[in-house]
Amino acid sequence: MPATFINAALVLLGSLLGMLFKDHIGARFHSILTHALGLCVLGIGISSAVGTENTLCVIVCMVLGTILGEALRIEDRLDSVGEVLRKKLVHGGGNTRFTEGFVTVSVLFCVGSMAIMGSMEAGIQGKYDILISKGVIDGVTAITFASAMGLGVAFSVVPLLLYQGGLTLLFSCVGPFLDPAAITEMSAVGGTIIMGIAVNMLGLGKGKIRVGNMLPAIFLPLLYLPVESLLSSLPI
């Protein structure tokens, strides 16, 4: 939970700075900071990915998880839910900039891979690297949105605390029942996916990597490792 509170505090700080300096923030400022943070996210992803003790597990889980996520169109569904929510609440709120800022940024901060992977790492392993890094990214993003949409951006911390905090508590409850080897490989798979987020932030690919469709891969080590152990115990 401390990392989620830090995330919320950084969003509040970013919102305050955005409102105070709204006349002095340009696109170049946001662009260069996004690239700098993208490099930091890449470093976090690499540090998690290299922790694997079973490279084949990471490869198989990434392939199968991505196929599953693509078949389920997870990223499209997340985007659709966020867009429907944004349109309904903005319309219901009288189309005010406050409501638009609140809803748009709430969806942006909550519907994302780093929120899920960071909450998992914080809840199961007690590590806060991903969530604090996400908090810095959210804080910078809040500066940009608050400069354009005002106070509503600051109130996005409420759904952020409920969603991200709830996920962290959920993972902390199931964590003691998970195999430590599975946790290691889940973290490695998550790190690989985070590298995809960094590539998107840096604009290195020809097109956007559909990171959301890779999310099922995080949980596949829970199935892969028992199956691998069973197969290895069979007489040849």
Q: Locate 226 and state its tokens.
A: 């028992």
CA distance 114 to 126: 15
Residue 101 has pLDDT above 80, yes or no: no
Top mean-pLDDT range of 8-17, 53-62, 174-183, 215-224: 53-62
Q: Which helix (H) or strand (E) holds 14?
A: helix 2-20
The pLDDT assigned to 97 comes to 65
Taking only the tens place, the pLDDT of each residue in 189-222 is 888 988 887 888 788 877 788 888 888 898 899 9
Averaged pLDDT of the chain:
81
Residue 226 has pLDDT above 80, yes or no: yes
Lowest mean pLDDT among 30-34, 126-130, 212-216: 30-34
The pLDDT assigned to 224 comes to 95
Which DSSP string corresponds to 186-198? Answer: HHHHHHHHHHHHH
CA distance 158 to 141: 17
Question: Please, what sign has the CA dihedral across residues 72, 78, 81, 83?
Answer: negative
The CA–CA distances, whole Å, from 44 to 27, 97, 188 equal: 26, 35, 11
SS3 content of the chain, % helix, strand, coil (to 5): 85, 0, 15
Residue 22 has pLDDT above 80, yes or no: no
Cβ pair 208, 163 in contact under 8 A:
no
50-80 in b/e burial notation, b at 16+ Cβ within 10 A? eebebeebbebbbeebbebbbeeebbeebee
Closest by CA position to 109, among listed 128, 86, 77: 86
